[in-house]
Structure 1
């Protein structure tokens, strides 16, 4: 009996891999005809879906516990720690997913507006971004409210993603300047101010400090972008 118990304890230690959060040994092989990688991907998706709901429509990131999120996902806390070290890791992944989705939407729109005049091209690109980012109120809340002030790490992630959008606007401005549609100058300050305006306005609108419809918000942001990126008419 003693030998059996010792063998079991050694087996358990091997299965746990001696690690804690996010370092538990992952299952291999197949179960119920489904590969382990496929089942793990589904678990991760369920945790992310639960985070989108609880952070974006429920109590919010700061008021959510791992046990509550795991319950909402229909999974265990042990399974959570097989996928993420902390809730902040899950929030970070959601934030990146939201930005990636909006970026892909804008890039997909780009070929179809190449031949439009500058005003129409700028409006179409921004409306593609705004339509995607605001399509789900949960994504708006996570991207512009819940992410604020979480940690230095998350602040840095926000700044990195903001720089990608600034670089995109500057690249589009440079292309317009090559076509003779805009003055050939450095638009980085203007682009930074516009991105800051988006973040501030959508934050205040989401928390109820701005009384306006979503369409009014988008219209105002389009006017801001046109004013920031286009030379004034004489």
Structure 2
């Protein structure tokens, strides 16, 4: 009787089918980071080349993904998740710090994570752009998530009397664009500065947004 082959569900080599599936998926994503994030790039990579780089077969590729676009989508989310985890860990460590120190800790964590591997920058800011409406929606949705996080921090700073009361969504959106552009240019070697200097500039810009000239913290939220 005709039908699709089903993946095995038992244990093999001491690992479950789910564990083996997760390992295969991780190997494809690791290979995609190497190929999409460097040479030849997403648009010049084939399923066969990705499978070879992962040390797996094309049959195994199609057991995990439908298309290379699905791989790029998963990799983009993974790279953003890594950065978000670094920021959330920094936020937990920065509790109780004055605003300037808190902002420095947060952006130091974010910048350190995304620039630790230039391929992550390329995936997030270059390779995903213009691929398809679906990935454009995903890219903008993840950027909106960063805007939400920044707005939440700004609102908390206002409640503590450390920032001027206002709707920060437009300013946060513009600032996130500046962050992404500056970190991309730094990673590409187009900015003659150290990472600490880049972070310092971003901190000054954000503090200028949160504490505009003429704002008196004594007036309260």
Structure with greater Cα Rg: 1
- 2:186 and 2:98 map into 1 onto residues whose CA distance is 31
The answer as to whether partners of 1:145 and 1:206 remain within 8 angstroms in 2 is no
Residue in 2 that maps onto 1:59: 40
1:201 Cα deviation from its structure 2 partner = 2.5
Residue in 2 that maps onto 1:199: 180
- TM-score if structure 2 supplies the norm length? 0.89
Q: Mind listing any 5+ residue stretches in structure 1 that lack a counterpart?
A: 1-9, 18-23
Residue in 1 that maps onto 2:54: 73
The answer as to whether partners of 1:144 and 1:202 remain within 8 angstroms in 2 is no
- TM-score if structure 1 supplies the norm length? 0.85
Residues 53-107 of structure 1: per-residue CA shift (max 9 Å, x gap): 1111221111111100000001111110110011111111111111111111111
The count of corresponding residues between Structure 1 and Structure 2 is 215
- Secondary structure of 2:131's aligned partner: coil
Matched, 1:105 2:105: no
Identify which of 83, 103, 106 aligns with 1:122.
103
Q: Where do residues 1-234 of structure 1 align in structure 2 (5 Å cutoff)? A: 10=1, 13-14=2-3, 17=4, 25-207=6-188, 209-232=190-213
1:229 Cα deviation from its structure 2 partner = 2.6
Residues 175-223 of structure 1: per-residue CA shift (max 9 Å, x gap): 1111111111111111000111122233344455545444443333222
Cα–Cα, structure 1 residues 148 and 213, in superposed 2: closer, same or farther, change >3 Å?
A: farther
The answer as to whether partners of 2:33 and 2:75 remain within 8 angstroms in 1 is yes
Q: Mind listing any 5+ residue stretches in structure 2 that lack a counterpart?
A: 216-221
- 2:202 and 2:78 map into 1 onto residues whose CA distance is 23
Residue in 2 that maps onto 1:21: none
- 2:11 and 2:80 map into 1 onto residues whose CA distance is 34
Cα–Cα, structure 1 residues 217 and 59, in superposed 2: closer, same or farther, change >3 Å?
A: farther
- 1:209 and 1:151 map into 2 onto residues whose CA distance is 28
Over the aligned positions, Cα root-mean-square deviation in angstroms equals: 1.8
Residues 133-177 of structure 1: per-residue CA shift (max 9 Å, x gap): 111111111111111111111110011111111111111111111
